[in-house]
Amino acid sequence: MNKATVLQRALATGIIPVIRAASEEDALFAAEAVLAGGVDVVEITMTVPGATSVISRIAETLPGILVGAGTVLNAEAAQRCLDAGAQFLVSPGINLKTLEFAQRKSVLMLAGALTPTEVMSAWEFGADLVKIFPCSQVGGASYIRALKGPFPDIPLVPTGGVNLDTCAEFIAAGASALGVGGELILKDAIRQKNAELISGLARQMLQAVQTARAARPKA
């Protein structure tokens, strides 16, 4: 799958679940649960034990999922993730060597930024999407709306503070997609192996995003 197709699919879904789990099995459980809820994109963070193994297993056993690697801090880690089968890369901040690597490999890259200067830098150095993290600490949806003023053409993906109650507001503010972590990948649901709790929440969030997009004024 080429980068353009990966980008189109990620944006079409509009929700990128950020899976941080205590074990490989828990991460796989979460990925299967969100897929059952209609969300076919997941980000496996490198903080998950055996993260590259999880990526490989998802790529092999869940072909319906677009799987990416998160918390990628350098180009060496990025290469390991691609070798494992990752189809996109996500970093919490800007690392120029990782951005250069992603461009060289023609792989979709979400680079983290927070301030306007960082947003400009991430975009200038080749990020395909700019992840605004941690968004909730600086105003949530109102901050995305403020950033879209000077940066109307930069696709922003807020992460942090995105949940069922706020996701529509983020979309209305101009977010291109949403990074959703613990508000969707519920620790209690994983511990209790309650897949339907996660799947049901994924379905509701997906519907909220689609409804908010439909209500957005056409450019």
pLDDT per position as a tens digit, 163-207? 999 999 999 999 999 999 999 999 999 999 999 999 999 999 999
Residue 27 confidence (pLDDT) above 80: yes
Q: Single out the catalytic residue among 43, 100, 105, 196.
A: 43
Residue with tokens 């949806």: 141
Mean pLDDT of 148-162: 97
The full set of domain ranges for the chain reads 3-211
Q: What is the pLDDT of residue 217?
A: 82
How far is it between the farthest Cα atoms of the chain?
45
Residue 38 confidence (pLDDT) above 70: yes
Q: Single out the catalytic residue among 131, 169, 193, 196.
A: 131
| CA 45/CA 20 separation, integer angstroms | 6
Instruction: Give backbone dihedrals phi and psi of 68, rounded to 5 degrees, phi first.
Output: -125, 170
| Those residues with Cβ within 8 angstroms of residue 115's Cβ, 6 or more apart along the chain or in another chain | none
CATH (residue range 3-211): 3.20.20.70
Give catalytic status of residue 43 as yes or no: yes
Mean pLDDT of 51-61: 97
Q: What is the pLDDT of residue 178?
A: 98
Mean pLDDT of 36-59: 97
Q: What is the pTM of this model?
A: 0.96
Q: What is the pLDDT of residue 219?
A: 62
Share of the chain above pLDDT 70, in %: 100
Give catalytic status of residue 100 as yes or no: no
Residue 218 confidence (pLDDT) above 80: no
Mean pLDDT of 93-107: 97
